[in-house]
Amino acid sequence: MGKLHIVGGGAIGSLIAASSQKNGVPYDCYPRDMKTMPSCAHWQNGQTTALKPAKPSPIVLPKSDVLIIPLKVYQLKAALLQWLPYLTQQPTVVLLHNGMGGLEIARDLLGGDYPLLLATTSHGALKVSTSSGFHVKYTGVGATQIGAPNVNKPSPQSLAALSQIAPQLASAIATLDKALPPVQYQNNILKALWTKLSVNAVINPLTALHNIQNKHIAKPEFEQSRISICNEFTQVADAYGLDFDALSVHENVLSVAKATGENYSSMHQDVAHGRQTEIDAINGYIVDMATKKGIPVPENTLLVERVKALKL
């Protein structure tokens, strides 16, 4: 089993670290700021897991190890540039973030044939500041979907098939599944990422703009906006060969909003704490992709403008 190397000290990365600790998977964390790295995780059953001390700087990774980058899309380029000199053995790199655009950045810096995995997770985690330091709180049980975008088409239909042609990637997925299960292989990971994008495109900006929890998105007052976002998303996605149905997209958004009802979205939290948001990688990505196809997306365009106009 390879070792996991987790970049940053954010909520999801810290959750992976804590779950690795609990499940006996070797790992190290490399936060940007050592002072804000969580020291422990609090699980839903009341148990606490202490994290091992973080590492101050990158090291050269062997091919069998896995570098996980659970950062914002706008942080990805700087992180990859920092790690690039330490990736000479070509260990597996896992991109785990909201929004889109990370694959293009990674391919530009690593090349189109690098052993790369794209992942999206529905696990919920919150980084909490207390008088004794930073902790991470597990707020919602979920699953991680993962795929190999650089493997030659047609994509292997199963993890067993992937292991035949890319055993390094299959081994990395197995390690991640032991660290924070369940990890589900997706032969069409881009479809899964676009599905996640459709949810984020509705929940994130609306919760940020109206200062509300996810559950309030399901209220009738937001129906017209929800439907418009989903219709525009579907037009754009289908223009790129993805097969979505606007009604099903909207139903899925409502389902996720209710299932995560007590949570505050990541964009809400970014705005609340004066941080840069991921609006460019979510609704902004839809606008960019629509522009390339000549598709008008007024609702998404307005949301981008409104979120950027919020005072940080």
Query: Where in the chain are the domains?
Result: 4-187, 190-307
Beta carbons of 169 and 160 less than 8 angstroms apart: no
pLDDT digits 0-9 by tens, 101-132: 999 999 999 998 999 999 999 888 888 888 88
C-alpha–C-alpha distance, residues 201 and 205, integer Å = 7
Out of 3.40.50.720, 3.30.1330.90, 1.10.3980.10, 3.40.50.150, which CATH number does the structure's domain 4-187 have? 3.40.50.720
pLDDT digits (tens, 9 = 90+) for 163-197: 999 999 999 999 999 999 999 999 989 898 999 99
What is the residue whose two structure tokens read 């540039």? 81
Measured CA to CA, the distance from residue 6 to residue 14 in angstroms comes to 8
Query: Residue 149, Cβ neighbours under 10 Å: how many?
Result: 17
Give the residue from 141, 126, 279, 155 showing the smallest Cα distance to 208.
Answer: 279
**Tokens 């779950």 map to which residue?**
19
What the block records as the tokens of 129 is 């500041």
Per annotation, catalytic residue among 3, 35, 127, 196: 196
133-140 and 27-30 as β-strands: parallel, antiparallel, unpaired? unpaired
CATH architecture of structural domain 190-307: Orthogonal Bundle (1.10)
Catalytic annotation on 52? no
Q: How far apart are CA 57 and CA 117, in angstroms?
A: 23
Return the structure tokens found at 112: 């189109």
Environment class of residue 168 by beta-carbon count within 10 Å: exposed (0-12), middle (13-18) or buried (19+)? Answer: middle
Whether pLDDT at 302 is above 70: yes
Q: How far is CA 246 from CA 252, 266, 270, 283, 303, in A?
A: 10, 24, 28, 16, 19
Given a contact cutoff of 8 angstroms between Cβ atoms, the answer to whether 3 and 66 are in contact is yes
As a whole number of angstroms, the distance between CA 79 and CA 5 comes to 13
Could you report the per-residue pLDDT of 40-49, keeping only the tens digit for each? 999 999 999 9
pTM exceeds 0.75, yes or no: yes
Query: What is the mean pLDDT of the segment spanning 257-266?
Result: 88
Res 312 pLDDT > 60: no
- Tokens for 229? 């976002």
